[in-house]
Amino acid sequence: MTTKAINVDLTEVREEKDRNAVKSILKEQGIVFHEVTSFWSSFEKGESDASDNTIVIFDLQSIANHLKDLSHVNWAFKVIKKNPYFISFIRGSNDRKLISLINELFKHSYSRFALIQADECFSKEDQADKFIRELKNIILRNYNQDSIKSVNLNKSNQSFSVEFNDGKYGEVSFEDLHLEDVINQLLLDSVRLSDRGDSIEMFTRDGDIFDIDADLLKSFISSDTKEDIRRQTELTADTVGNRLRMVRMKRHMTQKELSELTAIDQAILSKIETGKHLPRFDTLERIAKGLGLTVSELLNNDYF
């Protein structure tokens, strides 16, 4: 899954058989990892070292001692500095009592905290499957150079501050993204990263999710392509969606058929057509090709 070894800390998983079970899953999934034992000591001291960017796996009971002397603000600061991802195993009723005690700290972990039911070394298949899915999302989000590391809303500037795993950082304005047609329908304070870091997501007032591709955001940050991308995306999400739906229907083609032709998930096509997803340019190229058109023809109202 990844050619670069990732740091994994298992020191707070109590039972050796459970630690071995986790390592077996990592190996079975082709995840190259380096086991570290220093995460918690450096985390509590606020130090940056080789244990940064570690996937930290632990029994929920064991976390209580590490949290008792940390304020929410202090916890949040250390999480930002060390950039870990936490996976905690829940094993019984005593663990469930602890969940409510540290719930507020979860909120200050910037979506880097997952709870997994793990009875007796994943004796239930669905528990192991959930753990594997969580691992894959973590790796895609934290170790893919093109994935978003963090996003912050700047209301005064009407922009998003976006940082990527490769270190690229910048602001992308609402104007860049042509959000004028949907801005009043978006709950901007709900902005968050997708599970895989490949988009940012916001809730709409109707309870739907509106998302924006990471590649599109990155293109605006890159100065050498910004103007080109700006010209290519001078369309709103609603305009693109309405145009795509009209052209597809004129072609007497279903979303499923277009999905099969373009290898784009039907759910994504549906979100584009309903104005809930602002696609990047290469996605538009694939859609246009599937319809036998160029992007210009697809988006040109005078073409049909």
Residues 185-208 pLDDT 10s: 899 999 988 878 889 999 999 898
Last residue of a domain, one of 175, 206, 233: 233
Residues 138 and 93 in one domain: yes
Same domain, 41 and 69: yes
Task: From 180, 177, 185, 186, select the one nearest 159 (Cα to Cα).
Answer: 177
What gap in Å lies between CA 130 and CA 119, rounded to an integer?
13
Q: Do 74 and 154 sit in the same domain of this protein?
A: no
List the CATH number of the domain containing 247: 1.10.260.40
Are 79 and 60 found together in one domain? yes
Report residue 108: phi and psi, to 5°. Answer: -100, 20
Q: Does one domain contain both 32 and 98? A: yes
254 and 172 together in one domain: no
User: Residues 99-104: what's their mean pLDDT?
Assistant: 69
Do 225 and 211 reside in the same domain of the chain? yes
User: Quick one: pLDDT at residue 156?
Assistant: 87
pLDDT of residue 92 exceeding 80, the answer is no
Is residue 102 domain-shared with residue 6, that is, in the same domain? yes
Mean pLDDT, residues 113-122 taken together: 79
The most confident of 92-101, 228-237, 256-265, by mean pLDDT: 256-265
pLDDT at 23 over 90: yes
Q: What is the dihedral of CA 142, 117, 18, 138, to 10 degrees?
A: -10
How far apart (Å, rounded) are the C-alpha atoms in residues 184 and 187? Answer: 8
pLDDT at 1: 46
The span from the CA of 294 to the CA of 286, in Å, is: 9
Is residue 133 located within the same domain as residue 157? Answer: no
Please compute the mean of the pLDDT values over residues 128-143 and round it to a whole number.
Answer: 84
Query: What pLDDT does residue 255 have?
Result: 93
Count up the domains in the chain and report the number.
Answer: 3
Residue 118's domain comprises: 2-143
Domain boundary, last residue among 79, 114, 143: 143
Tell whether 11 and 109 lie within a shared domain: yes
Shared domain check, 297 and 277: yes
Judged against a pLDDT cut of 80, whether residue 259 lies above it is answered with yes
Per-residue tokens: 284: 């538009």
Q: And the tokens for 83?
A: 């950039």
Whether the model clears a pTM of 0.85, i.e. scores above it, the answer is: no
**pLDDT, tens digit, for every residue of 26-38?**
998 888 999 999 9
Phi-psi region of 182 (alpha: psi -120 to 50; beta: other; left: phi over 0): alpha
Which residues neighbour 88 within 8 Å (Cβ) at sequence distance 6 or greater? 57, 58, 59, 60, 63, 113, 114, 115, 116
CA–CA distance, 14 with 64 (Å, rounded to integer): 14
DSSP string, 108-122: TSTT-EEEEE-STTT
Instruction: Tell me the CATH number at 14.
Output: 3.40.50.2300
**Collapsed DSSP state (helix, strand, coil) of residue 50:** coil
Q: What is the mean pLDDT of residues 57-79?
A: 78
Instruction: Render 240-282 in DSSP notation, one character per residue.
Output: HHHHHHHHHHHTT--HHHHHHHHT--HHHHHHHHTTSEE--HH
Q: Which of 127, 143, 159 is the last residue of a domain?
A: 143
| Residue 226 pLDDT > 60 | no
Residue 226: CATH number of its domain:
3.30.2020
The pLDDT value recorded for residue 112 is: 80
Name the average pLDDT for the chain: 83
* Same domain membership, residue 43 and residue 159: no
